[in-house]
Structure 1
Amino acid sequence: MPTDAPSCDTVTAETRKYLPWLVAVALFMENLDATIVNTAVPTMALNLEVAPLSLKAVLTSYTLSLAVFIPISGWLADRFGTCRIFRLAVVLFLLGSLACGLAPNVPALVGARILQGLGGAMMTPVGRLALVRAFPRSEMLRTMNYVVIPALLGPLLGPFVGGLIVHWMSWRVIFFLNIPLALGGLWMIKRYMPDFRDEQVAPLDRTGFVLFGVGVALLSYVLEVFGEHTLPGQDIAFMLLLSLGLLAAYGWHATRDEAPVLDLALFKVRTFRLSVAGGFATRLGVGGMPFLLPLLYQIGLGYAPWQAGLLVMPQALAAMGMKLISRPILGRFGHRTILLTNTVLLGLTIMIFTQVGPGTPWWAIIALSFLQGFFSSLQFTSMNSLVYADVHDRKASRASSIASTAQQLSLSFGVAFGSLLAAWFLGNVDQHDPTQAIPALHKAFFALGAVTIISSATFWGLHPNDGNNVSNRGSRQPPGTEVNIASDAAAPVTK
């Protein structure tokens, strides 16, 4: 029976038309899953009979799994094609979601989240890689915003929907929501995902993957147990030194391997280096907020889960609004000015949360949440678009792998860092006691804000014209002279 649906090994105008929507569905699933869990943490802790801060492993295991497996996502896409790997990623994410909903305890839940992360590690980077290769660089910012705006419905709906679910039903239902979304994504992949690949891809760097993956996993585990006094100090110190040694060994290995799993040579590109390093430092401060704010609202202020979700929703609304105007803002002021100024404003906004207490009116919390979403969205848009500004088309997949890995690592470490600060200030008191929780969380917010402000120093190395080719700032190029990021990749796709 004839059909007009394109196969995975052809690229058509219709494919390019609907490809951003397909990637947006994948981002929506990931963002919904991440944000919907945050507001459920206090309820999950009570149900599983554990301390709320101990459930940070449920969040960090997912982002850590992303960071460990993202480095090979680019290689897998180049070797087996974006269509096949994207489909596999969605299937793994579906199975991981099902396992999360059926998990009987915290260790099983953490294991299921790792499976979810394995799917997500291939899903978003491969989808982003397909976009990078399918659209001209001058359209990159517009295309990315087009994808991210629908995906931001996840953070918008997640906190409130998660709060309603845990208020009226079992928390396990929040993971089952991904199943129909994943099935819809599989249908779209069959019709609209192009099959970009590299016929001359180098062999997988297995040694580098093991060195980096084990080193990062061990370092994350150290951050998990540090401050909880579950292991002797000498054991923690040994694991910390071992993890740093493994990462240093990977750095040495990467300079000698012709095709390392993470191509550290890309850090010679100044804009790439500064955007990745600055993004890591900024997300380290910001990353703990989505985990700590629901604890403040529910444990500290006594709001119901669905009410806490409503207080978080303005962040996503502001982020969606900012995506519509971020390109004109960057086109007017440039990446350097925006990143230097906005990073400081974002850190100050985090610090203002130290003033939120039992007497704070709800409208003031909503206004502050909106402000945080506004600055966060502009920050991430600026950093993410700058990553590809000066990277050669042939190295787009490598740049995507490094940028995505650094992003997930910083978010994972950010949750662990924020939780560590809160646990440090709490001491050995009851974490469910509002009189103890509020002061500790306020101190953690101040520290996270300070780290964010300090991270602005990483952007001083940018030049005033950096990123102009992605923001179209200044004089526009004559028609026909734009660099098409798909120029090198599209050749092996068409028959």
Structure 2
Amino acid sequence: MSEHPVSPPVAESDLEKTRRYLPWVVAVALFMQQLDGTIVNTAVPTMAESLGVASLALKSVLTSYTIAIAVLIPLSGWLADKFGTKRVFAFAVAVFTLGSLACGLSVNLPMLVASRVLQGIGAAFMMPVGRIALLKTFPKSGILRAMNFVIIPALLGPLLGPLTGGLIVHWLPWRVIFLINIPIGLLGLWLVKKHMPDHRGAVADPLDARGFILFGAGIALLSWVLEIFGEHRMETGWVAGLAAISLGLIGAYFVHARKSANPLLPVDLFRVRTFRVSVVGGFLTRLGISGMPFLLPLLYQLGMGFSPWQAGLLVMPQALAAIGMKLAVQRIMGHFGHKRVLLCNTVLIGLMIAAFSQVGPGTPVWVILIFSILQGSVSALQFTAMNSLAYADTTDEQASDASTVASTGQQLAISFGIAFASLVTAWFLGGIDRTNPAQLVPALHKAYLLLGGVTVASSAMFLTLRRADGDNVSGHGQIKEVVEA
């Protein structure tokens, strides 16, 4: 990828106009993506019944989407440098919209999975390219504020998704949950045409095809192995062999990347300590968090007997709390700094995940709502802290590469988190009746405890941070300096 990204010259008034509307362009696309994800999670039990498969088996509808994103995200920076952020972002929104239409027309599980892959192709480029556009449009001191602005409207997706999905599958065919993306996608295309800047690299480096094949094949194979292992469709020896091959492919990519002049994912970015901690620590933390949207609908609907729309209402407070936290996150980050926030907040997230092991039939609704509010608050703070830390010490020339690597890590964590949550739940279930709440709920409780423990353990990664890390992004320390002055 080019090390000298340039943009067409723009007048100061045009730059101000771009900075005013660009966050909205990115937010609309992210809203559509987040709405789709949360609607699908809520509708999983109903979709499984309609398609005649077990609810845990329907994780392929979720993982196929996230695997497609994880495999293709590494191309986003190269495509943005070569073809420009405007063209690639428009392509991403259009493909995601077409994928949504295909999902709505699906009549069986294989067709739905294939359509979700098409959605994933579009989603793979939306947020990374949108983030590249933000990084190249705003100064570093304004990145946290711009990203915060983007996330707040996008959180309306998780806010509206669970309830909307529940109401749709209660009153309408479940396919409607995908079709509502079409008008949103058309609005997004109009906004891209009007307000998306066309940043691109001065020189487009050749595509690292060998690196793409090694990395993409390794990630796709590893994700598939995790899925079939959870369903015990293959002997352990074969699973272990395929897992070894997938890890070998990923390892071969890292060897290749160190020798390549223009690697697909530049591993030398991990020499930047704050970037390394953000991506690696964020990956470990997201493993636990990412499994919750898949497991909670199973607990509420299959384990506790709530209808889809009631389960959606129980999830909504998470998004409301996240929006509230986003309004206060800049002040929190400025007061405590990245290290203290990430250390303490990661532990809190793990404890909140584990707390859902106490939720079951007979649990008062107000207790569930409190748990949801707390989980939404700490998760929102965590994501903002990890995302902003990644760009604290990277240069403007590294914007495309840093966004691509960070986005790849995030999507891998989401994909593996869903697979890991399903795997451990299936493991705890064993051969028992998965439709019997008396047997399903204890297995889910054990899964929550394990996911919570993994999340708490991931806080150790943030011990390597220094107290001043990320201060140029969060503004931490500046308040004290002003007071002392």
Normalised-by-shorter TM-score class: over 0.9
Paired position in structure 2 for 1:81: 84
1:294 alignment partner, one of 293, 297, 316? 297
Q: State the alpha-carbon separation in 2 of the partners of residues 82 and 446 from structure 1.
A: 42
Change in CA separation of 1:9 and 1:67 when aligned onto 2, cut-off 3 Å:
farther
Q: State the alpha-carbon separation in 1 of the partners of residues 390 and 332 from structure 2.
A: 18
Q: State the alpha-carbon separation in 1 of the partners of residues 159 and 194 from structure 2.
A: 28
1:36-95 Cα offsets, whole Å, 9 max, x none, are: 000100001100111100111111111111111110101000100001101111111011
1:447-477 Cα offsets, whole Å, 9 max, x none, are: 0000000000000000000000000111379
Paired position in structure 2 for 1:405: 408
- Counterparts of 1:373-384 in structure 2, within 5 Å, are 373-384=376-387
Structure 2 SS opposite 1:226: helix
Structure 2 SS opposite 1:373: helix
Once structures 1 and 2 are overlaid, which stretch shifts more, 467-476 or 415-424? 467-476
Paired position in structure 2 for 1:223: 226
Contact 1:389–1:469 under 8 Å retained in 2? yes
Query: Which amino acid is the alignment partner of residue 438 of structure 1?
Result: V
2:319 alignment partner, one of 299, 316, 319? 316
Structure 2 SS opposite 1:40: helix
Structure 2 residue 21 is the aligned partner of structure 1 residue 18: yes
Structure 2 residue 71 is the aligned partner of structure 1 residue 47: no
Q: State the alpha-carbon separation in 2 of the partners of residues 449 and 237 from structure 1.
A: 26
Paired position in structure 2 for 1:269: 272
Following TM superposition, by how much is the alpha carbon of 1:222 offset from its aligned partner in structure 2, in angstroms? 0.3
Q: State the alpha-carbon separation in 1 of the partners of residues 209 and 9 from structure 2.
A: 28
Q: State the alpha-carbon separation in 1 of the partners of residues 329 and 25 from structure 2.
A: 23
1:155-207 Cα offsets, whole Å, 9 max, x none, are: 00000000000001111000001000000011111110000001212111010
- Counterparts of 1:192-203 in structure 2, within 5 Å, are 192-203=195-206
Structure 2 SS opposite 1:255: helix
Following TM superposition, by how much is the alpha carbon of 1:9 offset from its aligned partner in structure 2, in angstroms? 8.6
Following TM superposition, by how much is the alpha carbon of 1:104 offset from its aligned partner in structure 2, in angstroms? 1.5
- Structure 2, unaligned runs of 5 or more: 1-7
Contact 2:56–2:422 under 8 Å retained in 1? yes
Query: Which amino acid is the alignment partner of residue 282 of structure 1?
Result: T
Q: CA RMSD for the aligned pairs? A: 1.4
Q: State the alpha-carbon separation in 2 of the partners of residues 129 and 194 from structure 1.
A: 11
Structure 2 residue 329 is the aligned partner of structure 1 residue 326: yes
Structure 2 residue 370 is the aligned partner of structure 1 residue 367: yes
Identity over aligned pairs, percent = 62
Following TM superposition, by how much is the alpha carbon of 1:103 offset from its aligned partner in structure 2, in angstroms? 1.2
Paired position in structure 2 for 1:492: none
Q: State the alpha-carbon separation in 2 of the partners of residues 124 and 335 from structure 1.
A: 23
Q: State the alpha-carbon separation in 1 of the partners of residues 94 and 81 from structure 2.
A: 19
Query: Which amino acid is the alignment partner of residue 233 of structure 2?
Result: T
Query: Which amino acid is the alignment partner of residue 369 of structure 2?
Result: I
Structure 1 SS opposite 2:392: coil
Query: Which amino acid is the alignment partner of residue 139 of structure 1?
Result: G
- Equivalent residues, number: 472
- Counterparts of 1:20-419 in structure 2, within 5 Å, are 20-419=23-422
Q: State the alpha-carbon separation in 2 of the partners of residues 214 and 476 from structure 1.
A: 48
Once structures 1 and 2 are overlaid, which stretch shifts more, 159-168 or 199-208? 199-208
Structure 1 SS opposite 2:96: helix
2:431 alignment partner, one of 428, 431, 445? 428
Q: State the alpha-carbon separation in 1 of the partners of residues 9 and 205 from structure 2.
A: 21
Following TM superposition, by how much is the alpha carbon of 1:369 offset from its aligned partner in structure 2, in angstroms? 0.3
Contact 1:52–1:431 under 8 Å retained in 2? no
Q: State the alpha-carbon separation in 1 of the partners of residues 35 and 362 from structure 2.
A: 31
Per the normalisation by structure 2, the TM-score is: 0.96
Q: State the alpha-carbon separation in 1 of the partners of residues 471 and 367 from structure 2.
A: 37
Contact 2:32–2:181 under 8 Å retained in 1? yes
Following TM superposition, by how much is the alpha carbon of 1:393 offset from its aligned partner in structure 2, in angstroms? 0.7
Following TM superposition, by how much is the alpha carbon of 1:17 offset from its aligned partner in structure 2, in angstroms? 1.1
Contact 2:42–2:312 under 8 Å retained in 1? yes
Change in CA separation of 1:223 and 1:9 when aligned onto 2, cut-off 3 Å:
farther
Q: State the alpha-carbon separation in 2 of the partners of residues 229 and 136 from structure 1.
A: 51
Contact 2:69–2:120 under 8 Å retained in 1? yes
- Runs of 4+ residues over 2 Å off in structure 1: 8-13, 475-478
Query: Which amino acid is the alignment partner of residue 134 of structure 2?
Result: L
Per the normalisation by structure 1, the TM-score is: 0.94
Query: Which amino acid is the alignment partner of residue 200 of structure 2?
Result: R
Query: Which amino acid is the alignment partner of residue 390 of structure 1?
Result: D
- Structure 1, unaligned runs of 5 or more: 1-7, 479-495
Q: Give the structure with the larger helix fraction.
A: 2
